[in-house]
Amino acid sequence: MDDGLEQSWWANMPHELLREVLLRIESSEAKWPRRRSVVACAGVCRTWRLIIKEIVRPPQLSSNITFPISLKQPGPREHLLQCFIRRNNGTQTYYLFLSLSSALADDGKFLLAARKFRRPTCTDYIISLDSDYMSRESNAYIGKLRSNFLGTKFTVYDIQLPHSRANMAKSCSTKLVNPKQVSPKVPAGNYPVAHISYELNVLGSRGPRRMHCVIDSIPASAIEPERVAPSQTSYSVSNIGTSFPFFQTNSTHMENSISGEQNNKRDDVLVLRNKAARWHEQMQCWCLNFHGRVTVASVKNFQLTALPVNGHAEPQEDDVILQFGKVGKDLFTMDYRYPISAFQAFAICLSSFATTVACE
């Protein structure tokens, strides 16, 4: 059969029949690597792509990471999404994977990569969708983490606005890009979406570090049960190629809630802080309960919770939004949940690799 005729036949299937077929595929292929079938369906033709866009739910509702845009959307509300980071000290690169099993180390599904670049007055971590080419000139570049000279303060930059109604100033380091690479509706640049600071540790290497994260792109009220954190629904880059299926996700179920929040007076932003470790007399060390997800003691290990607002009680054990810890020489677990995204969580964890002895 001619390729053109075959494509036309698939595209012209009765809509209800096609939708039922794609629904069954989406529900049966819930986990990677089998979930690549869902991605393949989205690449058949425009009709299939629109239906897949409609039925694939964001991570917040499905606990699944399907397309690249999922990395910029909030994680699941009910539980931590388990990931891990592999470090290559020789090349100063870091690779984020989605865990495919409960084991602390498996093959994983590649999500993001970052490379460290030292500059005279700061250090940059370039974050990319490509595991081999990590550069701001790459179409796979989606943001960066920048530290100050001392390695005590960090800023997370996104190449586009964190959501369509955001009102944020570009960084002065905004780079001119090829106009063919971006959507005319979304300006490209470096938008500061989070700030991370580490306090000087007066206990020296004997005590854990103190972290403070301000997520400028998320209102503090987003953690309340009936509220929804704003998120991106499409990437600005449009000529990535078939290996990076960039297209919009269906956000209809969120639009009304987000619109209402944005029309109100701007809420205070979300602030995260690390949980205080407890001194264990028998082990003679500082301890946190990672529920088996961390096995090696390290000053880099941390758990972040939201700063209480509106007089709410202190966060409970189940309120951890991001946890990061060492399980091997160059292997670390990274578990995150709503309201932050995988991109934001990865950038925060990169700061733990970059902090200097001044914070330890």
Residue-wise pLDDT tens digits, 294-303: 888 888 889 9
What is d(CA 62, CA 360) in angstroms, rounded to the nearest whole number? Answer: 38
Higher pLDDT: 9 or 167? It is 9
| pLDDT for residue 206 | 54
Same domain, 116 and 219: yes
| Region 250-254 average pLDDT | 46
Alpha-carbon span 143 to 72, nearest angstrom = 11
Q: Alpha-carbon distance 294 to 304, whole Å?
A: 15
Considering the domain architecture, whether residues 49 and 154 belong to the same structural domain is answered as: no
Check which CATH number belongs to the domain holding 207 and give it.
3.20.90.10
210 shares a domain with 73: yes
Range of the domain at 345: 59-162+187-223+268-359
| pLDDT for position 165 | 54
Residues 291 and 303 in one domain: yes
Which of 23, 38, 56 marks a domain boundary? 56
Encode pLDDT of 92-107 as tens digits: 999 999 998 877 777 8
CB atoms within 10 A of CB 257: 14
Indicate the DSSP class of residue 151. S
Share of the chain above pLDDT 90, in %: 43
- Residue written as tokens 């954190």? 229
More confident residue, 337 or 317: 337
User: Is pLDDT above 60 for 204?
Assistant: no
Residues 318 and 215 grouped into a single domain: yes
Considering the domain architecture, whether residues 49 and 124 belong to the same structural domain is answered as no
Is the confidence at residue 222, as pLDDT, over 80?
yes
pLDDT per position as a tens digit, 258-287: 333 443 434 589 999 988 877 777 766 778
Question: CA–CA separation, 324 vs 116, rounded Å?
Answer: 19
Same-domain pairing of 20 and 146: no
Tell whether 137 and 20 lie within a shared domain.
Answer: no
Is the pLDDT reported for residue 239 higher than 90? no
Cβ-based neighbour number of residue 171 at 10 Å: 15
Note whether residue 70 is domain-resident. yes
Give the per-residue pLDDT at 307. 84
255 part of a folded domain:
no
**Is pLDDT of 15 > 50?**
yes
CB of 58 within 8 A of CB of 70? yes
C-alpha separations of 35 from 29, 39, 208 in Å: 5, 7, 39
Are 84 and 49 in a shared domain? no
Range with lowest mean pLDDT among 73-77, 247-251, 339-343: 247-251
Identify whether residues 34 and 124 lie together within a single domain: no
Q: Is residue 251 part of a domain?
A: no
pLDDT digits (tens, 9 = 90+) for 133-169: 888 888 899 999 999 988 889 999 999 877 655 555 5
The predicted structure's pLDDT at residue 8: 61
pLDDT of 151: 86
Percent of the chain past pLDDT 70, that is, above it, reads: 72
Residue 231 lies in a domain: no
Question: Is the Cβ–Cβ distance between 85 and 326 less than 8 Å?
Answer: no
Does the pLDDT value for residue 125 go beyond 50?
A: yes
Question: Is the same domain home to 86 and 68?
Answer: yes
Task: Tell me the three state secondary structure of residue 260.
Answer: helix
| pLDDT tens for each residue of 159-198 | 987 765 555 555 654 444 443 343 334 445 689 999 999 9
Q: Burial of 213 by CB count in 10 Å (0-12 exposed, 13-18 middle, 19+ buried)?
A: buried
Residue 72 lies in a domain: yes
Predicted confidence at residue 295, as pLDDT, reads 86
Report the domain count for the chain: 2
174 falls within a domain: no
**Is residue 324 assigned to a domain?**
yes
pLDDT at 251 over 80: no
Q: For residue 235, tell me if it sits in a domain.
A: no
Looking at the structure, do residues 217 and 307 belong to the same domain, yes or no? Answer: yes
